[in-house]
Amino acid sequence: MTLTTVSFAFLIVATLLVRLLLTSKERWTALAVINLLMLMVVAGRLAPLAIALILVAWLLMRQGGAKMQRWRLVAVIVLGLIFLIGPKLNPHLESERQFPMLIGASYLAFCLIGLAVDRTRGHVTKVGFVDFWNWISFFPSFTAGPIRRYMPFVEQLSTSTRLQDIWWGATRLLIGIFKRLVLVSMLTPTANFLNETGASTWQCWLGMYAYTLKIYLDFSAYTDIALGAAGMLGLKIEENFNWPYLATNISTFWKRWHMSLTGWLRDYLFIPLGGSRAGWPRTALNTVVIMVVIGLWHGLAWHYLAWGLYHAAGLLIYRAYTDLFRGGDRGIRPGLWRRLGAGLFTFHFVAFGWLLFACDVQQAWRVVVTMFTGG
């Protein structure tokens, strides 16, 4: 967790009291203050920069009538891309030229760009400051997502908190903390075998399986904590994972993995580029673009690019297979044994892909060679 356990717990208790004791208008003003305090704790000396970014984005999006002008959309996109891409360039820049490392900048950028597109399309016509501030700076999901849509969030601000929401949220939050502090910690030493030059065959295999579980538990733990904290306040935010390792094909895996990111890219990039309805060459190009963006979103490094291209190839091969043998019908449900076989194959395709995520390209290749030849 980015925040310490004590400070996060304090924020949850304080916000829960605000939610339960104050009237609707008062509690969202109080929540705005709590979100501001959280941002100041997390961003530290960069808090004024983060606040300035949010205020500029709001000023751009609050104007423009029912549909925001396109120049405002371009301005928000440029602003978001600076904070999205800039810090990822730091490993390649001299120290005095590096961009400020604002925690949560990538999620912040995606949220702002998504809202700007919705304003331009006319899907959102009014952006009040308090609603906007609570949406963009909502402390349970500010640092590690999920990526949130504006309207589904603000439409809940007038709802009340029920006892069952508090219990559900507390349970989900504790599950996330258990994953992060216990299960991830247990798997980390074994997963680290992947980056040891002298790892044996069995250590490489164990390392791959451990890393595969670790990365899911680590990512999903943050989502559990965010959803749990939001649930305790009577709010629902986007899910990020839906048992992705039980998918029986790579397309279904990506519908279940990091769903707020893949859903955002589908709605704001893949479909505007033409989606899958403009013929095979265009579909292939769009698929590669999306997967490259997902890969480089994690960092501007060759192994992230290779990981994105690896999954793009998997998606295109699966699409070609279904077009050739199923007439393009990807909704056919195979029998039990075929589902088991397809599930195992998909799981291992994803697991081998994680080698490119965990290691640089050369080390990933050494691990694969060791796994199958003994080194």
Which residues are annotated as catalytic? 298
CB atoms within 10 A of CB 24: 12
Q: What is the largest CA-CA distance in the chain?
A: 67
C-alpha to C-alpha distance for 66 and 246, rounded to whole angstroms: 43
Q: How many CA atoms lie within 13 A of 369 on its CB side?
A: 9
Structure tokens at 2: 């980015």
SS3 of 22, please?
A: coil
Render 194-206 in DSSP notation, one character per residue. GG-TT--HHHHHH
C-alpha to C-alpha distance for 263 and 237, rounded to whole angstroms: 14
Render 58-121 in DSSP notation, one character per residue. HHHHH-STTS--HHHHHHHHHHHHHHHHGGGGGGGS-GGGPPP--TTHHHHHHHHHHHHHHHHH
